[in-house]
Amino acid sequence: MGFQAYQGEGWLLTKAEQLINWGRSRSPWPFPYGTACCGIELMAALAAGYDMARFGAERVGFSPRQCDVLIEAGTITKKMVPILKTIYDQMAEPKWVIAVGACACTGGVFRTYSTQQGISDIIPVDVYIPGCPPRPEGILYALLKLLDKIEEDHPLYKQRQEVAESLEAAK
Ligand code: SF4
């Protein structure tokens, strides 16, 4: 769904929620969390050759408080679980997560006691990218899918969910 507006000479009409979503989907601020080999593919996707910046994601940040898209690229060991959770918790709402590669999605080839078998048990994931590793094109495609999702979500979706859950719990 695109940004819908009605335009005439000197005026423009649209809905506030569409305007908010349009703005959010044009300026994602990624937090690149590369923990293993998939991180290299993420670096390639961010660099000039693939140029993630052309989709509005040029402002890569290293403070979770100033980012809204966590891109987790690589294996997460059990020792890293609290760190990943803390990073996610420090990001302000609304926030989204992309899991890059088999390790982030399911633990990948590391069926071991010390490896987290997918990050979705720790934090909510919006887009999963398969592959070991996925190519930078796959990461760009996932970003575009996420931007579509942001555009279609209600801007206050999570807040509405929380209110609904608290009302349900109060019954
Ligand atoms: S999915 Fe493959 S390439 Fe990516 S971090 Fe795991 S082992 Fe490395």
Q: pLDDT tens digits, residue range 68-92? A: 999 999 999 999 999 999 999 999 9
Q: Does ligand 1 lie within 6 Å of residue 37's CB atom?
A: yes
CATH topology of domain 27-170: Rossmann fold (3.40.50)
24 pLDDT tier (thresholds 50, 70, 90):
confident
Count, residues in the chain: 171
Mean pLDDT rounded to a whole number for the chain:
90
Q: Which residues contact 88 (CB under 8 A, 6 or more apart)?
A: 64, 70, 95, 97, 122, 123
Nearest CA to ligand 1 atom 2: 132
Q: Does ligand 1 lie within 6 Å of residue 38's CB atom?
A: yes
Q: Which of 35, 38, 100 to mutate to test the pocket of ligand 1 (most atoms within 8 A of CB)?
A: 38
Least confident of 54-68, 111-125, 152-166: 152-166
Rounded to a whole number of angstroms, the distance between the first and last alpha carbons of the chain is 37
The string of DSSP codes covering 62-94 is SSGGG-SEEEEES--BGGGHHHHHHHHHHSPSS
pLDDT over 70 at 16, yes or no: yes
Token pair, residue 141, equals: 């495609």
- Mean pLDDT across the stretch 105-120? 97
What pLDDT score does 159 carry?
Answer: 65
Instruction: Give the residue among 73, 1, 77, 75 at the shortest CA–CA distance from 30.
Output: 73
10 pLDDT tier (thresholds 50, 70, 90):
confident
What pLDDT score does 155 carry?
Answer: 66
CA-based R_g, the chain, Å:
18
Higher pLDDT, 131 or 13: 131
What pLDDT score does 63 carry?
Answer: 95
What pLDDT score does 158 carry?
Answer: 66
Cα 66 to ligand 1 centre (Å)? 27
Q: Does ligand 1 lie within 6 Å of residue 42's CB atom?
A: no
What pLDDT score does 28 carry?
Answer: 94
Domains of the chain, by residue range, sit at 27-170
Quote the pTM value: 0.86
Least confident of 69-73, 99-103, 128-132, 161-165: 161-165
